[in-house]
Amino acid sequence: MPVPSLLAVAARGRHRLGVALLGLSMAGLSMAGLSVTGNANAQNTDSRTSVIAAPVATAQWRDPLEALGTLRADESVTLSATVTETIADISFTDSQRVAEGDLLIRLDDSAEQAELRAAQALRQERKNAVRRAQQLLERNVGIRADVEDAKARLAQVNAQIDAIQARLADHRLRAPFAGTVGQRDVSVGALVTPGTELITLDKIDSMKLDFTVPATFLDALKPGMALRATTPSYPDQVFRGEVTSIGTRIDPVSRSVSVRAQLPNPERLLRPGMLMVVTLERRLRETLVVPESVLVPSGERQYVMRIARDADNQIQRRQVEIGARRAGEVEILSGLNAGDWVVTHGTTKVRDGEHVDILALDDGSREISEILKDARDGDARDGEGN
């Protein structure tokens, strides 16, 4: 038997080694392929998109009608002098609240006071004359004509006293109603004449709000309608009131009707002359309301991503009919029911038929940034626990 050469033996050894290495390589690739396929299948099975959902709720809805209005005091008056005299006393300070009947300004009335004292003394004298004449008549030593003349003279002096007291009243300026006085522009000793404006008085615990509305909305206006009003002076506050009266005439130029409302002002923040932005709340109704962020527009149609909780949180793309809108919310006329859940954040990441995880429920009481932060903090705590 021929002995193989050393070169042949080496060649056969290299061949066996190559086959062995090739077998190991194929086995490794096969295992690696199985591992990749397994991980991919596991990933497809366990991975879901996390979304934020919101419930479809029933709420009160009103169609807003905006207008510009001007505030007026509920009662307002400017007190003026009716006589020519000097100011003797001032009984108020700037912006002081006063009660009805409080004395505000007294003019010098020394001459009238002297006349009053003289007239009162004369009245006492004539009262005595009437009494004496009556006694003489009762003793049959007097005549009835003397009694009647004495009573007439007494009545005359009483009329004089009434006239003097009326002039004295003109020297005293009193508050005709409870309110707040304005700033004082006069001083003691100043000479005033009839018509001189001395002090303003406003009742501002409640304010009148006058504004105009296009006549096309006349059928929707009625006393008792609720309204909201804001002013740049207090940008973070909303003042609420109601319509009290509607004008009886339409302006022929602007084709609008005047409306007056009443605004409570217990803190007296509002002032006469303020410009107010008025929002009338008309057509009060109960309707379905969702956040505006749930809408997925497609052409002229609107869709939402409904979450079917009874089908393992499966996404259902629903067409909806929307009604009116307001800040951050929209009215749903059809396509959803009260109690449904819809996706508010993550609508662009999900598709019809997919299953999702609900990260949080947005009920409108918190900001989205706060909801996301709470969710991240919860995930971090879960990770630490594992």
Model pLDDT for residues 332-343, shown as the tens digit of each residue: 999 999 999 999
On the question of pLDDT at 281 being above 90, the answer is no
Residue 377: its pLDDT value, please?
A: 60
Residue 83: its pLDDT value, please?
A: 92
What would the two tokens of residue 366 be?
A: 């918190």
Q: What is the pLDDT of residues 85-124, one digit of tens each?
A: 999 999 999 999 999 999 999 999 999 999 999 999 999 9
CB distance 322 to 332 below 8 Å: yes
Residue 34: its pLDDT value, please?
A: 31
Tell me how far apart the alpha carbons of residues 169 and 171 are, in angstroms, rounded to a whole number.
5
Across the range 12-25, mean pLDDT stands at 37
In this predicted model, which residue has the larger pLDDT, 193 or 375?
A: 193
What would the two tokens of residue 361 be?
A: 């429920």
In this predicted model, which residue has the larger pLDDT, 1 or 163?
A: 163
Residue 212: its pLDDT value, please?
A: 95
In this predicted model, which residue has the larger pLDDT, 128 or 22?
A: 128
On the question of pLDDT at 37 being above 50, the answer is no
Tell me how far apart the alpha carbons of residues 355 and 47 are, in angstroms, rounded to a whole number.
9
What would the two tokens of residue 324 be?
A: 């009116």
Residue 47: its pLDDT value, please?
A: 78
In this predicted model, which residue has the larger pLDDT, 24 or 69?
A: 69
Across the range 297-304, mean pLDDT stands at 93
Nearest to 292 by CA among 323, 338, 334: 323
Across the range 6-11, mean pLDDT stands at 34
Across the range 53-76, mean pLDDT stands at 90
CB distance 105 to 192 below 8 Å: no
On the question of pLDDT at 13 being above 60, the answer is no
Kindly report which listed range (28-42, 129-143, 272-286, 349-363) carries the lowest average pLDDT score. Answer: 28-42
On the question of pLDDT at 379 being above 50, the answer is yes
Kindly report which listed range (40-49, 111-120, 222-231) carries the lowest average pLDDT score. Answer: 40-49
Residue 361: its pLDDT value, please?
A: 83
Residue 2: its pLDDT value, please?
A: 41
Kindly report which listed range (219-228, 244-253, 372-381) carries the lowest average pLDDT score. Answer: 372-381
Band (45; pLDDT cuts 50, 70, 90): very low
Q: Which residues contact 239 (CB under 8 A, 6 or more apart)?
A: 228, 229, 230, 231, 263, 264, 265, 270, 276
Residue 97: its pLDDT value, please?
A: 94
Kindly report which listed range (13-27, 235-249, 258-272, 321-335) carries the lowest average pLDDT score. Answer: 13-27
Q: Which residues contact 115 (CB under 8 A, 6 or more apart)?
A: 164
Kindly give the residue spans of alpha helices, DSSP state H, lying in the chain: 6-46, 110-138, 144-170, 368-385
Across the range 139-158, mean pLDDT stands at 89
Residue 81: its pLDDT value, please?
A: 92
On the question of pLDDT at 365 being above 70, the answer is no
Kindly give the residue spans of alpha helices, DSSP state H, lying in 47-143: 110-138
Domain 49-60+286-385: which CATH number of 3.40.50.880, 2.40.420.20, 3.90.78.10, 1.10.530.10: 2.40.420.20
